[in-house]
């Protein structure tokens, strides 16, 4: 392992995963730096992951894609569309600039403190899983479990090492982000929708919104209600679904801002109309 500096902060640059995990176990308060773009709080001891080549690797299996946690976002954009769900590429393109995406990592996006990075809702709907490793443990966690817990919590000494996502392309996908990284929370949200129309029926429908102050918003009732419906959806059915969505939003313990509520309803209407078109 390289010790990069002796003064504060102590910066460590391990070259293998086992060195990293041993170091994290012995120094539980240390700050991990992947791409370093989120400029997380500065701790007296920092560990940079940029020398761990194994953790940058992307490999493709028959039905899934394994993405090393420190793969830069741009590495996923370079893959042909047959090797990655296109909706994930669309979400990545909205993050920062092309230069930033060469630095920012997939794992760093998912492990940001206090917020779900923009890739989280997309990976959730795609049915992805995370590999978390400690020196004496290794576990796979689904994004679904994390969404239910409301955050990604790592045990002391644990590292996100890999993201595994199924390679199946949804029939239709919609991704929209409103506001940018620096927009205030009241005017920011993103939406991911995956849908599969088959033989005139909506065989699968998943819709999630991500709001900075609330995390993920997903109405299972709406999804269940629309799944199996015949397409095109008659206008009254569409309006009734949107009315129920409005009720769902109004009953949340923490309310979205007026701007966010309007956009959620507007985007949902847009998606339901597009299902009819396609």
Partner 1 sequence: MKVQLILNGDDLALSGGPRDSLFAVLQQRAGLFPERVCCEQGDCGRCHILLDGKEVPSCLIPFFQVREQEVVSPEGFQNTEEYRQFRALLEEEGLVHCTECTEVQIFHLFSFLEQFPQADAEECRLAIGEIPCRCGSKPVLERGARRWLASRPWPVVGREVPRGHH
Ligand X SMILES: Cc1cc2nc3c(=O)[nH]c(=O)nc-3n(C[C@H](O)[C@H](O)[C@H](O)COP(=O)(O)OP(=O)(O)OC[C@H]3O[C@@H](n4cnc5c(N)ncnc54)[C@H](O)[C@@H]3O)c2cc1C
Binding site for partner 1 (CB under 8 A): 4-5, 7-9, 11, 33, 35-37, 39, 42, 48, 50, 57-66, 72, 74, 77-81, 83, 93, 96-100, 102-103, 164, 182
Q: Which of residues 162-221 bind ligand X (CB under 6 A)?
A: 181
3-state SS track over 196-207:
EEECCEEEEEEE
**Smallest gap, in angstroms, from Cβ of residue 144 to partner 1?**
19
DSSP 8-state symbol, 253 = S
Q: Nearest to ligand X by Cβ — which residue?
A: 108
Site stretch for ligand X (CB under 6 A), options 36-44, 211-219, 237-245, 268-276? 36-44
Of 160, 159, 157, 161, the C-alpha closest to 29 is 157
Q: How far apart are CA 65 and CA 132, in angstroms?
A: 16
For residue 59, the minimal CB distance to ligand X (Å) is: 17
Residue position matching structure tokens 């920092």: 46
**Locus of tokens 């492990």:** 111
Which one of ligand X, partner 1, none is in contact with 160 (Cβ closer than 5 to 8 A by kind)?
ligand X
Residue 36 near ligand X by CB under 6 A: yes
Q: Which does 164 bind (CB under 5 to 8 A by kind): partner 1, ligand X, none?
A: partner 1
Contact 162, 68 (CB under 8 A): yes
Shortest spacing between CB 240 and partner 1, in angstroms: 36
Q: Is 57 exposed, middle or buried (0-12, 13-18, 19+ CB in 10 A)?
A: middle
**Residue from 197, 193, 200, 239 nearest 219 by CA:** 193
Among 13, 14, 107, 212, binds ligand X (CB under 6 A): 107
100 makes contact with ligand X (CB under 6 A): yes
What is the DSSP pairing of strand 172-178 with strand 189-198? antiparallel
Chain residues 58-97 in contact with ligand X, contact rule CB under 6 A: 69, 94-96
Select the span of 17-25, 101-109, 142-150, 221-229 touching ligand X (CB under 6 A): 101-109
């Amino acid at each position: 392992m390289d010790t990069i500096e002796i003064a504060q902060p102590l910066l460590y640059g391990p070259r293998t995963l086992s060195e990293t995990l041993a170091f994290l176990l012995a120094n539980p308060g240390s700050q991990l730096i992947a791409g370093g773009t989120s400029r997380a709080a500065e701790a007296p001891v920092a560990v940079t992951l940029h020398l761990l080549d194994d953790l940058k690797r992307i490999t493709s299996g028959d039905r899934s894609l394994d993405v090393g946690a420190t793969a830069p976002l741009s590495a996923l954009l370079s893959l042909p569309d047959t090797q990655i769900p296109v909706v994930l590429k669309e979400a990545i393109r909205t993050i920062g600039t092309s230069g930033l995406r060469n630095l920012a990592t997939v794992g760093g996006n998912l492990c940001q403190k206090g917020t779900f990075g923009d890739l989280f809702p997309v990976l959730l709907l795609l049915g992805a899983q995370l590999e978390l490793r400690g020196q004496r443990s290794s576990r796979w966690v689904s994004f679904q479990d994390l969404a239910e817990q409301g955050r990604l919590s790592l045990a002391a000494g644990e590292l996100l090492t890999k993201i595994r996502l199924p390679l199946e392309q949804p029939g239709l996908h919609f991704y929209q982000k409103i506001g940018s990284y620096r927009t205030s929370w009241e005017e920011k949200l993103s939406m991911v929708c995956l849908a599969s129309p088959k033989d005139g029926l909506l065989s699968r429908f998943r819709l999630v919104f991500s709001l900075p102050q609330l995390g993920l918003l997903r109405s299972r009732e709406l999804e269940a209600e629309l799944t199996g419906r015949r397409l095109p959806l008659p206008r009254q059915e569409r309006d009734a679904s949107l009315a129920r969505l409005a009720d769902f939003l109004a009953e949340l313990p923490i309310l979205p801002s007026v701007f966010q509520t309007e956009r959620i309803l507007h985007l949902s209407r847009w998606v339901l109309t597009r299902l009819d078109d396609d």
